[in-house]
Structure 1
Amino acid sequence: MTFFTPFVDTRLRSSKSELDLRAPLLSQLRKGFAVRWLRTIVLISLDAAALYLAWQVIRTYITSVNPLWNSQQNLLVLVIVAIEIGLIAALGFYTSGQKRRDYLSLIKTLTFSHVFLFLVFSPQPTNFISLSAFIPSWLLSISLTCVTRFGIDNAIKYVRKQGLVCYPAFLICRPEDKKKAIDTIGVEKCYSLLGWADINSLVAERDDLDATIEDIYRLGIAEVFVCSWSLINRRMLLYWKLRNAGITLHILPVDLEIIDRKSELRMLCGLPTFKFSPPLVTGSDFWIKRCFDFCFAASFVIVAAPVYLFIALLIKLDSPGPVFYKQTRIGLHGRQFGLWKFRTMVVNADQLQKDLEASNEMKDGVLFKVKNDPRITPIGKFLRRYSLDELPQLLNVILGEMSLVGPRPLPIRDVEKFAQQHFIRHEVLPGVTGLWQVSGRSDITNFDEVINLDVSYMESWSLLLDLQILLKTIAVVLGKEGAY
């Protein structure tokens, strides 16, 4: 919200010696000030109402001492709510961005505040926070606060989808960085990009900075994002002009690839640095994942044993040959292992592949994919359609050669065509399913897209992500998406 019309400083045309960027002729509030404060006031009001309601419920239904409150007890509740709100605010839960949606940290904060309040007020004569009231008040405060926050977050998302209460933004970057910058800005879902400028027009030879600033003023921009900040010729002029117009400036390092989400921003000599600390017990992630894989795979094989026997019988009745097909694949650290599948092709399928290489639908030829492959048996089409041919790979998981989720292990023929950057996928256990499988499977015809999905999975791994991929795999398989 702006109280004055943005002032375009015509003194740019005058002598630079007369220009003092620190002293604009008119003062104004920062752009987007009203939206930020309105959001903060709403969040504080909702949190306070939720916490007050929680204590009121405890007073009415739990606390047996002094059932009819007096003014002293009402004042005590207000003090308790004020303390909790102050602690929530001090830890940054009313700031913009992802912090206010960090429900786990919010729960920890409310837990700490309740323990603190219990230690402080339980010895008091009012006996308001008794041991019998502590746990119900803790659970109710957490529940009501998280529910109200979740509700307001979804309401804000809905309103912003309608194009309302978004911050008007402007992007300055190189053309080749434009898509990545827009995708990065779009993650927050709170910006409306109204314009952009090619940063090459702001270098010393061309320097159209004045025209760019006028465009920013004309569009009523609240926040400006700049990539490759050092390329701009008059950087400080841009900074001060935006500053005096109440416009927030973001330096967006789109060329910086964050390799771990568990990072910490630190300042070093005035420059931002990302700190990546190893866990207290290194290597624990592997063993957590391995235990989960083994328990899940072993349990599934035992429960689904009749299904395995039924599929084996169908394969035997369908075509001559063995029930299982074992193929050498490349796994962790480039080691070879035998991957097990239910046989879905004729016995001499490997020899026939050479005659089908010309029909390969993968653009770079690294993988081999052909629709309506003539080598597939009738029952094999059904098994592939629902990925039932992959079930024996749970034996590979039990043996520790594979994981439930990870980059798909590829045959020697495919690995021999790898470029250097492709071998990164061999640094983790291969998986029965992965981001590739739930993101299009055979519909992806560019191997670099496969690598990008594998690397994305490796960067952001968590047990929760594995569970999400497993659940999505079930949906993809039932929907027969991208399988042939």
Structure 2
Amino acid sequence: MSNPQQETPGAIIAVINASEAVSTRLDSLDFDDSVLVYFKNETEFISKWEKQLFDVSCIISEAEVMAPAGISFATILQQKKFPRVPFFIICDHSNENLAVLALRSGVSDIFTRPFDSEALQTRVLFFKKYGHLLPGKVNELRSEKYKTPTVKRIFDLVFSSLALLCLSPVFLIVYIALKLESKGPAFYYSYRVGTGYNVFKFYKFRSMYVNADKRLKDLQHLNQYNAAAKTTESGTANSPLCADCAKAGTKCQFLIYADNNTWCEKQYISSRKKESGSAFFKLKDDPRITKVGKILRNTSIDELPQLWNVFIGDMSIVGNRPLPLYEAEKLTTDKYALRFLAPAGITGLWQVEKRGKGEMSEEERLMLDNTYAQNHSFTSDIKLILKTIPALFQKENV
């Protein structure tokens, strides 16, 4: 592909994941000879760009910095060797550390809502005309990436491949059982942030019915705290967005995916916490969980698909647990960012320290993650595995 840095008449401005409000504002702006073309998500855009090879002068993505359509999207475009074009993010939340992280990932600028439309227009036109005069500036700012040591990667490949091979009958039985009991996919994935803030698909077995969120609304009357339940029903219960995104009036950035079905991950994790004993919502024998799913959760078999993440290199057997997007975007300060300089893993130091010691504060977990990042080695990984074989496939909310 040719270098698109020079302004090209008739080039398009690709707009990704735009809400109606943002689309209306963009349509009112004048981008000279560039035409706005809208795409539902980053996957659709990449697919069409690869096939049609159209001339892209700029990309505008409406997403949080740590969301899949944020810096991860910018990184994927670079990995796929697409022409480097100005990349702008429109989001709700940003800070100095996120801005630096975005710049190092190839993002040209960030605009937080409510944003100045004319400022965005000026910025886009500037980069279209003069972006080619700034070669290499972004690359110079890119930080050194973590590279998995060869011996650790070999161990991960051997361990995960043997485990997948030996456990293949279990995978088949679980797959058939889930399909026979309820409609829907056997696997699902949500996005996680791992080493170097890289975002990847995190796989698990499905343990709930695909319409679990709707069932939660129908079961509110069984909650012993009816007042709280009524508040929920009158609030955002009928909203397709999670509470944070509903306030901002935008699309949910934190989805779980399974074929054509999606759930809000914040709501999903919240329901998991409620199941484990929250005083505000508790159901005995929660009917949203399938019978097979209950067995999978109690035995942690629902975590086994993460072995595939290890096999393809997204994770290691031992490392710091990869975090949901909305948690990772809060950990960009020097105090916490160190944890992302270590490999993402199925089990790690804090899981070993946790066992038998009751609750562990978030601060303690993060400090242990930092400790692992500073001191990990292949020898220490083997010691951790020997100490915590029962915890190897622990649940995320432990």
TM-score class, shorter-chain normalisation, is 0.3 to 0.5
TM-score by length of 1: 0.35
Which structure is richer in relative contact order (CA contacts within 8 A, separation 6 or more)? 2
TM-score by length of 2: 0.42
